[in-house]
Amino acid sequence: MRILAVGAAGFIGSHYVRKLLTGGFPSMPDVHVTVFDKLTYAGNPENLAPVRTLPGLEFVRGDICDTGLLTEVMSGHDAVVNFAAETHVDRSINGSVDFVRTNVQGTHSLLEAARATRVPRVVHVSTDEVYGSIDEGSWTEESPLLPNSPYAASKAGGDLLVRAFARTHGLDVSITRCSNNYGPYQYPEKVIPLFVTSLLEGGTVPLYGDGLNVRDWLHVDDHCRGIQLVLEQGRPGEVYNIGGGEELTNFQLTRMLLDACGAGPERIRKVADRPGHDRRYSLDDGKLRGLGYAPQVPFRQGLADTVEWYRAHPDWWRPLRGAHAAAG
């Protein structure tokens, strides 16, 4: 089995590849993985270091928008999983051109390459943020796409192209839409690693607005389990929500992180709310559960393990925090 994992030098894709190559998916024991990644600020070869010497891994540096190179590399693979994206909402507010390029044009390029190579199976990794914000209840896969940030809008654009290529060209491609992830190797601009690494360095943590925005947290390992299930059993042209973690306000999450790092509430710094800040995300993942999916990492345990991972790996995050600060 030959898998092409696009954008897999980042947080979620690298977890998927490490899991795949270390026997984490018993249904796919003998697997060869090609990682295709541009290595933007968010892509880090160190994320693949634990599996770097395994014979089943190959790395190609390339841009998802380079359809020619992507087609050449994709040829001969049995399946493609697309993780490549610009992913940070705050960056998309400051400037969204890279988001449209990678998340819309890049998805189009990937779909064209899949058509040209006739690769048998594609999974496109998307996000619950395409649905917008929901005060009560949960989104199903039939809910309308009402994105509020440029990031979410660019992801929704990519999703619509995927749908169109499945309908028009009969491409065997499914979409996953997951809630907020946490875990090791997450770039320290996202809230959990940002807060944990700030606290470990003795700093403060910036809490947006009233702190009452609600997010549904899922461990990256459960997300990857859901992606693999969709790869193996999902139907072409269908969308699958992946969630079922833990709904928390940002304030509740912050208190848990302060506790885990042995810090008090005086380390919270209230900052002006993010423009267009979605109030609440909540997914109905009954469709995927119908295929046998269930999250396996209890939130409190997963969060404690994650904090310990950052505590034990300053050599991984210190250079990134420096780069992040320098980039403003």
Q: Where are the beta strands (DSSP E) in 20-170?
A: 32-37, 57-61, 79-82, 121-127
- ∠ CA(66), CA(71), CA(77), 5° rounding? 135
Among 3, 12, 89, 161, binds ligand NAD (CB under 6 A): 12
Q: How far is the CB of 283 from ligand NAD (least distance, A)?
A: 10
* Paired strand residues for 5: 35, 81
* Catalytic annotation, pick one of 37, 63, 86, 128: 128
Q: Where are the beta strands (DSSP E) in the chain?
A: 2-6, 32-37, 57-61, 79-82, 121-127, 173-178, 180-182, 205-208, 214-219, 239-242, 246-249, 268-271
Among 127, 149, 254, 306, binds ligand NAD (CB under 6 A): 127
Q: Determine contact, residues 303/259, Cβ cutoff 8 Å.
A: no
Among 34, 67, 71, 87, binds ligand NAD (CB under 6 A): 87
Contacts of 152 (CB under 8 A, 6+ apart): 89, 127, 129, 130, 132
Residues 94-123 that bind ligand NAD (CB under 6 A): 102, 106
Q: How far apart are CA 57 and CA 194, in angstroms?
A: 30
**Site track 36-55 with ligand NAD (rule: CB under 6 A), x = hit:** -xxxx-xx------------
- ∠ CA(11), CA(316), CA(36), 5° rounding? 40
Q: How far is the CB of 322 from ligand NAD (least distance, A)?
A: 18
Q: Is 63 in the site for ligand NAD (CB under 6 A)?
A: yes
Q: How far is the CB of 182 from ligand NAD (least distance, A)?
A: 7
What distances in angstroms separate CA 273 from CA 133, 149, 207, one per listed residue?
Answer: 15, 14, 8
* Catalytic annotation, pick one of 37, 63, 86, 129: 129
**13 vs 132, beta carbon nearer ligand NAD:** 13
Residue nearest to ligand NAD (CB): 10
**42 vs 263, beta carbon nearer ligand NAD:** 42
Radius of gyration of the chain (CA): 19
Q: How far apart are CA 197 and CA 188, in angstroms?
A: 7
Tally of residues, the chain: 328
**Site track 140-169 with ligand NAD (rule: CB under 6 A), x = hit:** ---------------x--------------
Q: Is 83 in the site for ligand NAD (CB under 6 A)?
A: yes
Q: Is 16 in the site for ligand NAD (CB under 6 A)?
A: no
What distances in angstroms separate CA 3 from CA 10, 20, 32, 36, 252, one per listed residue?
Answer: 17, 10, 6, 11, 39
**85 vs 263, beta carbon nearer ligand NAD:** 85
Q: How far is the CB of 98 from ligand NAD (least distance, A)?
A: 8
> How buried is residue 138: exposed, middle or buried, by Cβ count under 10 Å (0-12/13-18/19+)?
buried
**171 vs 320, beta carbon nearer ligand NAD:** 320
* Catalytic annotation, pick one of 131, 151, 187, 281: 151
Residues 173-212 that bind ligand NAD (CB under 6 A): 178, 180-181, 187
Tokens encoding 317: 């995050």
Q: Is 9 in the site for ligand NAD (CB under 6 A)?
A: yes
Among the listed residues 284, 280, 240, the one whose alpha carbon sits nearest the alpha carbon of residue 139? 284
Q: Is-catalytic flag, 128?
A: yes
Q: Name the 3-class secondary structure at 285.
A: coil
Q: How far is the CB of 266 from ligand NAD (least distance, A)?
A: 28
**73 vs 166, beta carbon nearer ligand NAD:** 73
- Catalytic residue set: 128-129, 151
Interacting residues with ligand NAD (CB under 6 A) = 7, 9-13, 37-40, 42-43, 63-65, 83-87, 102, 106, 125, 127, 155, 178, 180-181, 187
